[in-house]
Amino acid sequence: MSHNVIDRARDSVQGFARFHDLITQKLSIAGRSESAHQAYGRQLAQMALHFGKVPTEISIEDVDSYLYFVKQKYPMPSEAYFKHTVYSLRFAYRIFGLRDRYVCMPSIPKSGKLPTVLSKEEVKRLLDASHNIRYKVLILLLYGCGLRSFEARNLKRSDLDFDRKMIHVRGGKCRKDRYVPMSTLHIAPLKQLLKSTPRSTFLFYGFDHNFKANFEKGYSKRSIHWAVRRVATLAGIEKHVSPHTLRHTFATHLLEDGLDIVSIKNLLGHVKIETTLIYLHIARTSQGVGYSPLDTLFGLRETLFKPGLCPYYMNSLKTSETPDTSVSLIEM
């Protein structure tokens, strides 16, 4: 669908073909992913078709009207369509030197939404429901190694080091390579999959026989998502489960198991530690784990402090002062 929109814009809007070629060239030089190429191209093509001209030639007033139109037409919780429209325009304005227009683009506030994470029992149910060896290996890699969807699809036989129990992840986000440890539990399923496809180069080669013998047309992004959702359905998991859900679960479980945040950052291939810190808001670590007061009310757990021995009270005893209980809500 996205390619049809881009093709229509290239054919019907004067100057868009050259404009799109330059955008694609700059995206490639910047090392942006294929999904970024498609998203930016689609949004800019839609805008070109809407006005009948190249996006950089549209007045800022018309751009504002179009952004309002997009926000009203696609009121999704994540506002993904709106964000991609803004990001693509910013990129176009920047590479064409239109700084005055670039700074006029609305800022996109960061979402406070936390990712979905599975419990360890739910992961076990996923693996039990993975009767297809390809699905089982896929789940093992996404959860057991924290791989992104495209990283799993890109894996080659030569990237597996069974002796050192390591997997070479090539061309991750920002085109960065990294190594991730392989569990002993990975080895038997991986070797079984490799034995079933002895002539393949890519790990998931041959998923769809209607395509040619290469990764890009074999195990596609859509196929990966479909496989994960299918296994989640068979496992009876009602949460929305995607390939990235398993990556989030990988990081959260490692943090709960006691691994430090910097090591988790390196395993995930994050560039900034701030990206990894979100898991501190999800993981149930031994320090600072909250609980419901219903538990202490009905004796299901002990209180953290015995009555009359809270830190504030003990401090007041040391200073021989009567504790002031008139603390306002604002101070709290």
For residue 330, what pLDDT is reported? 33
In this predicted model, which residue has the larger pLDDT, 116 or 199?
116
Query: Looking at the structure, do residues 81 and 10 belong to the same domain, yes or no?
Result: yes
Model-wide pTM > 0.85 = no
Contact 122, 235 (CB under 8 A): yes
Query: Looking at the structure, do residues 61 and 158 belong to the same domain, yes or no?
Result: no
CA neighbor of 183 nearest in space, from 131, 127, 248, 235:
127
- Whether 326 maps to a domain, the answer reads no
Quick: pLDDT tens for 304-314: 655 554 554 44
Number of domains in the chain: 2
What percent of the chain lies above the pLDDT cut of 70?
81
| 3-state secondary structure at position 166 | strand
Contact 90, 98 (CB under 8 A): no
- Whether 40 maps to a domain, the answer reads yes
Distance between CA atoms of 34 and 36, rounded to whole angstroms?
A: 5
pLDDT above 50: residue 329: no
Classify residue 88 by its DSSP letter: H
Q: Is 247 a catalytic residue?
A: yes
CATH of the domain at 265: 1.10.443.10
Q: Rounded to the nearest 5 degrees, what angle is found at the Cα of 210, between the Cα atoms of 206 and 211?
A: 65
- Whether 308 maps to a domain, the answer reads no
Catalytic position from the list 42, 148, 153, 253: 148
Query: Looking at the structure, do residues 71 and 158 belong to the same domain, yes or no?
Result: no
Q: Is 279 a catalytic residue?
A: yes
Catalytic position from the list 40, 135, 219, 279: 279
Query: Looking at the structure, do residues 147 and 255 belong to the same domain, yes or no?
Result: yes
Contact 93, 85 (CB under 8 A): no
Query: Looking at the structure, do residues 264 and 143 belong to the same domain, yes or no?
Result: yes
Averaged pLDDT of the chain? 83
Least confident of 13-17, 18-22, 173-177: 173-177
Q: Is 186 a catalytic residue?
A: no
Query: Looking at the structure, do residues 55 and 145 belong to the same domain, yes or no?
Result: no
Q: What would the mean pLDDT of 192-199 be, rounded to a whole number?
A: 88
Query: Looking at the structure, do residues 97 and 206 belong to the same domain, yes or no?
Result: no
pLDDT tier for residue 159 given thresholds of 50, 70 and 90: very high
Quick: pLDDT tens for 241-287: 999 999 999 999 999 998 999 999 999 999 889 889 988 888 876 55
Query: Looking at the structure, do residues 128 and 223 belong to the same domain, yes or no?
Result: yes
Catalytic position from the list 84, 247, 248, 265: 247
Q: Is 270 a catalytic residue?
A: yes
Query: Looking at the structure, do residues 147 and 66 belong to the same domain, yes or no?
Result: no
What percent of the chain lies above the pLDDT cut of 90?
54
The last residue of one of the domains, among 102, 128, 159, is: 102
Q: Is 173 a catalytic residue?
A: yes
For residue 288, what pLDDT is reported? 56
- Whether 261 maps to a domain, the answer reads yes
What tokens appear for 210 in the block? 């209607």
- Whether 72 maps to a domain, the answer reads yes
For residue 315, what pLDDT is reported? 54
Catalytic position from the list 173, 225, 229, 230: 173
Contact 156, 201 (CB under 8 A): yes
What tokens appear for 180 in the block? 């991730």
Q: Which domain holds residue 67?
A: 2-102
Query: Looking at the structure, do residues 86 and 157 belong to the same domain, yes or no?
Result: no
Q: Work out whether the CA dihedral 310, 312, 317, 318 comes out positive or negative.
A: positive
- Whether 10 maps to a domain, the answer reads yes
For residue 180, what pLDDT is reported? 95
Catalytic position from the list 50, 178, 230, 244: 244
Distance between CA atoms of 69 and 62, rounded to whole angstroms?
A: 10
Q: What would the mean pLDDT of 25-34 be, rounded to a whole number?
A: 81
